[in-house]
Amino acid sequence: MLFNSYYFIFIFLPVTVTVFFLLGHKGKNQWAMAWLILASFIFYGWHHPMLIWLIGASILFNFFWGIWVSRHSKVLLASGITVNLGFLGYFKYSAFFSDNLFTLTNIRMELPEMMFPLAISFFTFQQIAYLVDAYRGKIAEHHFLNYCLFVTFFPRLTQGPIVYHQELMPQFKQKEIFRWNPEKIAVGITVFFFGLFKKVFIADGLAAYASPVYEAARYAYPLSCLEAWEGALAYTLQIYFDFSGYSDMAIGLAYLFGIRIPLNFNSPYKSLNIIDFWRRWHISLSRFLRDYLYVPMGGNRKGEGRRFVNLMITMLLGGLWHGAAWTFVIWGGLHGVYLVINHSWVKLKQKLGWQGKSGPFARLLSVLTTFICVTVAWVFFRSDSASTAFHMIGCMAAKNGFSLPEKYLDKFGVAAQQLQKWGVDFHEMKYFEGSNEVVHILIALLIVWFAPNVQQMMDRYVPYLNIMAKGERLSMPPFWFIWRPSFFWAIILVITTLTATLLLSRASEFLYFKF
């Protein structure tokens, strides 16, 4: 079931919330939790009920294995992680490895037809973290009902964030979360519908510019430089508002029940460098890869060379986690290279004593450089193949020359003649019409770079868990951007809610839904 569907918003969510608080009001807290688990299974199996047994089997295995692992057996821990990775690999990567084996050896593995289990990457990683934490003695108790809710809690089930057991489950011991709280309901609804607006109005609107360009690149259509950059920038902004919208919706839904889940998105396109980008984009995944892969491999404790190797391995596997295709591996590897260069530059500046505060021009240049690097990497992430991605990047680099739409030939007058002398061509373009795309992309960029994000606006209530670097917190926006219960904000909420709801008929899956 999708958050951006009529069924979810008008049937599933009201019924789930109402029954939860009715049971809680009567003091039946365990029944309320059981109801939430049942609702989460219904949510998960809405489109493919047969897949419920997969997540059920995973839960049963990891719960009982976690009890045995908690006796501090390294062998059992390694075995449990292997089983989970094997489970993930079979359902998500077996076709990928089979195709590559055939390419290399001409041996075809016959695989049974299988349905891709929704959210398998998220609930597998979350349970691996549980096993490791159980081995480390961080899990105080093992309660099956609690564990089921830990894995299936629907606000974060399909696309994260990846939550640790010790962060989520202690909150369900607080009796007040089972009591109706009008303030939390108001905050949760506001965050949810602001996120929904970002998804269906902004992200899905930008998809109309991105998808045709990437489809043309798939068939090696000779795109102009402007057409290629339009598609690349539109997708860069589409995935931003898509994932940002989902992350807000997940936080809002959890807060309806009085639960805080981790902040997963913090205006990453405002980052000054790639290191900062990965502290802001998919924060819970970055944290998981750091805590359970990068640090156990040695992190930065064994010299710079080993540190860079660990970074590359982490990012390559992080790329593969997103999807079973070489394009995702290249995307992860490219970010690994970015990080190596970034850390090397930081080291060089330390040696040269260039540690002073940067001026506004240097900060602007840093943000733009980081944004362009991220945009180039997204081309691989979005493309269906490496050849499509390289074709797109070639077009972005003006391998077909630089041209403008034919309609500007008359509008520019004498200036057009001068531009032609400089090598600028004017011809009809199939994927770039001009002002509409430019205005939409420009507005989206202004929002990304200059507007506060939803969680900053709601920071007076802090409806999320802060898992950013120690001591770091969201900056407070100007007074007029801070949400408070008022007539003005009620009008804003009504407008965004009506707009988003009316657009649900054209709503699409979230981009991270397939990961």
Active site residue ranges: 322
Q: Comparing C-alpha atoms, which of 472, 468, 128 is closest to residue 284?
A: 468
d(CA 153, CA 151) in angstroms, rounded, equals 6
Phi then psi for residue 265, to 5 deg, are -155, 125
d(CA 315, CA 164) in angstroms, rounded, equals 21
Residues forming beta bridges with residue 405, ordered by sequence position: 427
At 409, which amino acid appears? L
266 Rama class: left (phi>0) / alpha (psi -120 to 50) / beta: beta
Coil, strand or helix: which one is 399? coil
User: For residue 465, what is the enclosing H or E element?
Assistant: strand 464-465
The DSSP 8-state label assigned to residue 209 in this structure reads H
The DSSP 8-state label assigned to residue 405 in this structure reads E
Residues forming beta bridges with residue 281, ordered by sequence position: 265
d(CA 186, CA 164) in angstroms, rounded, equals 26
d(CA 313, CA 298) in angstroms, rounded, equals 12
d(CA 119, CA 302) in angstroms, rounded, equals 35
Phi then psi for residue 464, to 5 deg, are -135, 165
Tokens of 126: 């979350």
- Please answer whether residues 313 and 297 qualify as being in contact, where contact means their C-beta atoms are separated by less than 8 angstroms: yes
Distances (CA, A) of 462 to 188, 227, 481, 501: 11, 41, 15, 26
